């Protein structure tokens, strides 16, 4: 939630900026779904730091520091970092969705499934943005140097 706006600000391609902006809004809904999951399980909502995600986010910040503003090279790095985030989310939500299904918690499973699908869509969208020119533009930047 805190990192996506930073990625959005650091991005150059309008397509990528929009993808980050949209996923920020989507992530808010995902947080609300998690709150609903806690409710369905009769548990108090509790945030817990995730060391793995922290590491991926740190790596993303490093990419911003190591690349120049306004370059496609930075956009490529941001896409790589963001896809690592999405893949981690996909594996986590995928595992939790399966667990909820096994436990017969269908409402919880449905909520987790919705978020899982959004994460998968975001991953595909990021791949498309890379394919549609950001990677090519970045390759050209390297040649010019």
Name the site residues for Fe ion (rule: CB under 5 A). Answer: 89, 119
| Structure-block tokens of residue 126 | 């990021």
Shortest spacing between CB 34 and Fe ion, in angstroms = 12
- Minimum Å gap between C-beta 20 and Fe ion is 10
Q: Please identify, using beta-carbon distances, which residue of 75 and 119 lies nearer to Fe ion.
A: 119
Q: Residue 44 in contact with residue 34, Cβ under 8 Å? A: no
Q: Where are the alpha helices (DSSP H) in 1-145?
A: 3-10, 14-40, 51-66, 72-102, 106-129, 135-144
- Considering beta carbons, is residue 75 or 89 the nearer one to Fe ion? 89
Contacts of 141 (CB under 8 A, 6+ apart): 71, 72, 73
Kindly state the smallest distance separating residue 93's Cβ from Fe ion, in Å. 9
Q: How far is the CB of 125 from Fe ion (least distance, A)?
A: 11
Nearer to Fe ion, 116 or 138 (CB): 116
CB nearer to Fe ion: pick between 91 and 106: 91
In contact, 4 and 20? CB cutoff 8 Å: yes
Grouping H, G, I as helix, E, B as strand and the rest as coil, residue 44 is coil
- The DSSP secondary-structure symbol of 43 reads -
């Amino acid at each position: 939630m805190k990192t996506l706006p930073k990625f959005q600000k650091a991005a150059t391609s309008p397509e990528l900026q929009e993808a980050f902006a949209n996923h920020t809004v989507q992530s808010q809904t995902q947080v609300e779904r998690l709150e609903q999951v806690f409710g369905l399980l009769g548990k108090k909502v509790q945030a817990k730091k995730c060391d793995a995600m922290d590491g991926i986010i740190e790596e993303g910040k490093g990419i911003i520091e190591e690349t120049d503003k306004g370059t496609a090279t930075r956009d490529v790095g941001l896409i790589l970092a963001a896809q690592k985030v999405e893949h981690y989310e996909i594996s986590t939500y995928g595992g939790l969705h399966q667990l909820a299904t096994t436990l017969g918690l269908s409402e919880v499973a449905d909520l987790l499934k919705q978020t899982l699908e959004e994460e998968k869509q975001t991953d595909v969208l990021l791949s498309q943005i890379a394919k549609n020119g950001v990677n090519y533009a970045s390759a050209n930047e390297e040649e010019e140097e």
